A and B are shown apart, each in its own frame.
Chain A
Amino acid sequence: MVRVTFPSVLQRHVACPPVDVDGGTLRQVLEAAFAHQPTVRGYVLDDAGALRTHLTVFVDGVVVHDRARLAQRVPAEARVDVLQALSGG
């Protein structure tokens, strides 16, 4: 299973405990995580479905650069960390 975590600062606004989901593309992984708590989706992705500007996603500690398509493969047993980027102030 893939472990998906969300930023601790987001917990103030919406419940988003870590969830375990199946592997696939990053988008499939995130959508599977959002299925547990649908409200989280709008906090992480923008209207066009791209990663919000001031969030950063790491897959096994490596930054995701394809922020719009989220098409990269996420291996089973990987860890996906959604973090608040400091660029947002």
Chain B
Amino acid sequence: MSERSERTDRLSVTEHSPLWEVFVRARRGLSHTHVGSLHAPDAELALRNARDLYTRRQEGVSIWVVPAAAITASSPDEKDAFFDPAADKVYRHPTFYDVPDGVSHL
């Protein structure tokens, strides 16, 4: 048991459970909007996790998940000097999320 947990600690789990950006279509007629991110080892799990995490209150009719590493970002109104040297790291993604229009108040 201890041997296994040591092994797990050594493995960089980040590589094995990468970051995914989640986009939700709140209602028919609206475009998909970025709602947040999550970790999952593969796309299938990412999609299931997104459903549970970001649409617990039935906020969506359709979900996209995109590997954060596959996103190329630009920040048009920022000059190069504004980019921190670490800005290319995938986990420093440009936006966390917009609060979707369909969020209910409970």
Chains A and B belong together in one complex: no
